Structure 1
Amino acid sequence: MQVSTFRRVTAGTAVAVAAFAGIGAVTASPAYAATSKVSVVHGIPDTPVDVYVNGKKTLDNFQPGDVAGPLDLEQGRYDLALTKPGQPVGSAILTVDDAQVPGGANISLAAHLDAGGKPTITPFVNDTAKVGAGKARLIVRHTAAAPAVDVRAGGTPVFEDLTNPKEAKADVDAGSVSADVVLAGTSTVAIGPAKVNLAEGTATIVYAIGSAEGKSLKLVSQTIKGLHSAPSGVPSGDGGLADTGPQSWWYVLAGAGVLLLLGGGARVATVRAGRR
């Protein structure tokens, strides 16, 4: 893969949460507007969590670095709380109240640290547009407690001055690339290098997670398949570098509607009294 094939495209949708209300209308036909494909990325270091939905525990001991999903979820509004394993919902470390899941989108929800090191949740709309023959899509997301970074391929910057929680993306030649993350404008390596396999007709999403101060920076990847120019199925996602773990818990979460974060505001350490 030639470095020259990259073109830098930054996106502000990761932080424009209010925009999710209209996703279904622009990404799906009415026949499919009631559900979205949703995946979860756990990027908060040293913090396994239990997940509560409307006051009910639906996931035990979800580990940092894990990627789960995707799941087809019906649109609706929900409350979510993350607690330390075994702790009650009243001691939540992160909550989202009355969050709206739209219909007709492909979404990744990243639980991560903001630039200042505080836990937060950021929804990202995944670009599932078809790619050309011989091409793959590379998406890089800065979800680490770290300053601005450059992402390099073969030692050459391809995405520059990326800040938390922004993303950059490009359609590139399919193949393998050695990538690393350096402090913006320098050659100081923060993460990597790591070999990234960009398969034809896929989108590979690479997340920088962890904390620079805590020396826990690393990469986690997610792959979305089925983006060949000739349709080959409904796009979905699966884990890449991360271990997705057992799949059975998704069926529990489906009944409770766990992936609830779109359009909701995240709060740290307090939970409102009310509907559970």
Structure 2
Amino acid sequence: MTARLVGATLAAGAAVALSAATAVPALAQPHAAGGQATVSVLHGVPGLTVDVYAGDKELIPAFKPGTLTDPMKLDAGSYDIKIFKKGEGPGGTPAIEKTVDVPAGANATLVAHLTADGKPALDAFVNDTSKVPAGKARLTVRHVAAAPAVDVRAGKTPVFKDLVNPKEAKGEVAAGTIRADVVLAGTETVAIGPANVNLAEGTNTVVYAWGSAKDKNLALKTQTLSGMHSSPGGVPAGGSGQAASHNKNVPLAALSLGAVSALGAAGLLFRLRTSTR
């Protein structure tokens, strides 16, 4: 896998890792004053460590596969990102250079990962932060691995079926700890796990299946979003009526393919433009 290919997948992910947002305000273009976004990034491309720059300023040295950044507040605007194979910047030629636009109001996770057939890709997932009923937790599973369709099981019972890259499935369950694993769809062949997943009340626990089945490095990564508690006996309310309507309260065993949501619109969160330089 070339540094250029991997660099292409990481260009937008790099922008959201601007933990030095207060230190590099000049990076934002004039239209950056329109609010902020909350963004995390997962580096899910196995086998390559990179250095990330904005202009000539190093932002993320030695960004390693399997790394998930903390959520960050970024000013909306454009960021000029350069990606180098570890140790080759900033004097060398970047493997990729992108201008990344970050829109206001977004709460999302960018995932640099492999497609089902092993090619580098970048997908933006909208994080559901609508209210969760009292005593419940939201479970979200995202398939971002170079692997075929899978079933996600809890206690050896399939709860999400035929999940394909790069789709997600989600539902609300009783808070607590589940024993989860990932199997090839329709089989008992375990691809990842088992692992204990703690589903705390009022949270959205996001589980990523990433890596490559061919290279035998499939793994799970967990992200937890909190602060979505509802008052006991209260009526759950999302940011809008539409958001609330997706807040399904269903038994864990009842979750199925119907919970899988398409992510085509999510890609609109982050537009990538190749710089003409």
Please, what is the CA RMSD of the aligned residues? 2.4
1-structure distance, mates of 2:230, 2:55: 41
1:264 paired with 2:265, answer no
State the partner residue of 2:79.
Answer: 78
State the partner residue of 1:239.
Answer: none
State the partner residue of 1:228.
Answer: 229
Structure possessing the higher radius of gyration over alpha carbons: 2
Q: CA offset at residue 117 of structure 1?
A: 1.1
**Post-superposition CA distance 1:214-255 (Å, at most 9, x none):** 001000001001110149xxxxxxxxxxxxxxxxxxxxxxxx
State the partner residue of 1:200.
Answer: 201
**Post-superposition CA distance 1:148-184 (Å, at most 9, x none):** 1110111111111111111110111100000000111
2-structure distance, mates of 1:34, 1:65: 30
TM-score, normalised by the number of residues in structure 2 = 0.70
1-structure distance, mates of 2:114, 2:209: 10
2-structure distance, mates of 1:115, 1:172: 29
SS at match of 1:50: strand
2:106–2:269: 8 Å Cα contact kept in structure 1? no
Q: CA offset at residue 97 of structure 1?
A: 2.7
1:143–1:165: 8 Å Cα contact kept in structure 2? yes
**Post-superposition CA distance 1:117-172 (Å, at most 9, x none):** 12222111100001000000100000111111110111111111111111110111
2-structure distance, mates of 1:40, 1:67: 6
2-structure distance, mates of 1:187, 1:112: 25
Over the matched positions of the two proteins, sequence identity in percent amounts to: 56
State the partner residue of 1:181.
Answer: 182
SS at match of 1:144: strand
2:139–2:171: 8 Å Cα contact kept in structure 1? yes
State the partner residue of 1:209.
Answer: 210
State the partner residue of 1:46.
Answer: 47
1:33–1:104: 8 Å Cα contact kept in structure 2? no
2-structure distance, mates of 1:157, 1:79: 44
State the partner residue of 2:247.
Answer: none
2-structure distance, mates of 1:81, 1:45: 20
Name stretches of at least 5 consecutive residues in structure 1 with no aligned partner: 1-31, 232-260
**1:92 to 1:175, Cα distance in 2 relative to 1, 3 A:** farther
2-structure distance, mates of 1:103, 1:272: 22
SS at match of 1:117: coil
State the partner residue of 2:129.
Answer: 128
**1:50 to 1:182, Cα distance in 2 relative to 1, 3 A:** same
TM-score, normalised by the number of residues in structure 1 = 0.70
Number of residues paired by the alignment?
210
2:138–2:171: 8 Å Cα contact kept in structure 1? yes
Q: CA offset at residue 54 of structure 1?
A: 3.9
2-structure distance, mates of 1:33, 1:273: 25
1:39–1:67: 8 Å Cα contact kept in structure 2? yes
2-structure distance, mates of 1:196, 1:91: 43
1:96–1:265: 8 Å Cα contact kept in structure 2? no
Matching of residues 159-174 of structure 1 within 5 Å: 159-174=160-175
**1:180 to 1:132, Cα distance in 2 relative to 1, 3 A:** same
SS at match of 2:145: coil
Give the stretch that moved more between structures: 99-108 or 189-198.
99-108
Name stretches of at least 5 consecutive residues in structure 2 with no aligned partner: 1-32, 235-267
State the partner residue of 1:67.
Answer: 68
2:51–2:89: 8 Å Cα contact kept in structure 1? no
SS at match of 2:48: coil
SS at match of 1:68: coil
**1:209 to 1:81, Cα distance in 2 relative to 1, 3 A:** farther
**1:188 to 1:147, Cα distance in 2 relative to 1, 3 A:** same
**1:33 to 1:186, Cα distance in 2 relative to 1, 3 A:** farther
